């Protein structure tokens, strides 16, 4: 099946700094990618839809100025958590695929101290 | 908001037994999908069932869909210790363009 990678797999940062997470589709092109956030023992919550060559579409309650998404190519989307705070600590997962199957990246564990 | 609600929230069974997990949803859907997540890892797509389908099989997996009751079930037969994971149902609504809404998940533990 198709492969989606994420980098880094985990990151620890200080409060107030910005962190960039990459999501790549390795063997297919993705005009659309999705970013999710998952808190411990909870479900995935969709944060935004990343659209290649255009602005991302954010879900209600997600601050677009805090979670910057860039989808500059058909194989790469980035999520930047700006001015991170401890409450942003979470597991961030991206996905890409076709209407029938979404392929998920392995996730990025963000810890903000 | 949560579209899917799975039950039970946690299930513990003996290896070799069957595991049945249920999911209910609230709105109309294009399809319903089941995913598996091992602890701290990404999700793996297990099976998709479309709104006009009632049952699908894939290996040891059997999925049913009852759109009148807005519910689905995932049956894993002859469970193995390696099936231990969290299982999520996810729905795609009409016009959602692959955007999925996930349920809260079920933690399955299979005892060797």
Q: Is the peptide bond before B99 cis (omega within 30 degrees of 0)?
A: no
Q: Are A17 and A84 in contact (CB under 8 A)?
A: yes
What pLDDT does B1 receive?
A: 33
* Shortest alpha-carbon distance between residue B58 and chain A (Å): 15
Region A82-98 average pLDDT? 94
B10 to chain A: closest CA residue: A41
- How sure is the predictor about A60, in pLDDT bands with cuts at 50, 70 and 90? very high
B104/A46 Cβ within 8 A: no
Q: Which residue has the tokens 């389908």?
A: B53
- Residue B3 Ramachandran class (φ > 0 left, ψ -120 to 50 alpha, else beta): alpha
Q: 28-67 in B: which are within 8 Å (CB) of A? A: 31, 33, 35, 40-45, 48
* Shortest alpha-carbon distance between residue B41 and chain A (Å): 5
Beta strands in chain A (DSSP E): 4-7, 10-13, 19-25, 32-38, 44-51, 57-58, 67-73, 76-81, 90-98, 101-104, 108-112
Q: Is the pLDDT of residue A64 over 90?
A: yes
From first to last of its 112 residues, what are the pLDDT tens digits of chain B?
Answer: 335 677 778 999 999 999 999 999 999 999 999 999 998 888 999 999 999 999 999 999 999 999 999 999 999 999 999 999 999 999 998 887 788 999 989 999 999 9
What pLDDT does B15 receive?
A: 97
d(CA B77, CA B19): 7
A99/B92 Cβ within 8 A: yes
- What is the sign, positive or negative, of the torsion defined by CA atoms of A98, A99, A103, A108? positive
- Residue A95 token pair: 């996905």
CA proximity to A95, closest of A105, A82, A108, A109: A105
Q: Which residue has the tokens 């809404």?
A: B101
A107/B41 Cβ within 8 A: yes
What pLDDT does B2 receive?
A: 38
């Amino acid at each position: 099946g198709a492969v989606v990678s994420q980098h880094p797999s985990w990151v620890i940062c200080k409060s107030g700094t910005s962190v960039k997470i990459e999501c790549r589709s390795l063997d297919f092109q993705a005009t659309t990618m999705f970013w999710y956030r998952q808190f411990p023992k909870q479900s995935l919550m969709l944060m935004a839809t990343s659209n290649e060559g255009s602005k991302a579409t954010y879900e209600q309650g997600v601050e677009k100025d805090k979670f910057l998404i860039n989808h500059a190519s058909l194989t790469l989307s980035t999520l930047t958590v700006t001015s991170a705070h401890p409450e942003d600590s979470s597991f961030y997962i991206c996905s890409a695929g076709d209407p029938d199957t979404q392929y998920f990246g392995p996730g990025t564990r963000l810890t903000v101290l | 908001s949560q579209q899917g609600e799975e039950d039970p929230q946690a299930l513990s069974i003996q290896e070799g037994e069957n595991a049945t997990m249920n999911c209910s949803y609230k709105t109309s859907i294009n399809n319903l999908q089941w995913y598996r997540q091992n602890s701290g890892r990404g999700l793996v797509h297990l099976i998709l069932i479309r709104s006009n389908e009632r049952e699908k099989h894939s290996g040891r997996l059997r999925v049913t869909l009852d759109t009148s009751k807005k519910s689905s079930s995932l049956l894993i037969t002859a469970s193995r210790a390696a099936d231990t994971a969290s299982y999520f149902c996810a729905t795609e609504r009409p016009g959602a363009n692959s955007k999925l809404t996930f349920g809260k998940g079920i933690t399955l533990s299979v005892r060797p």
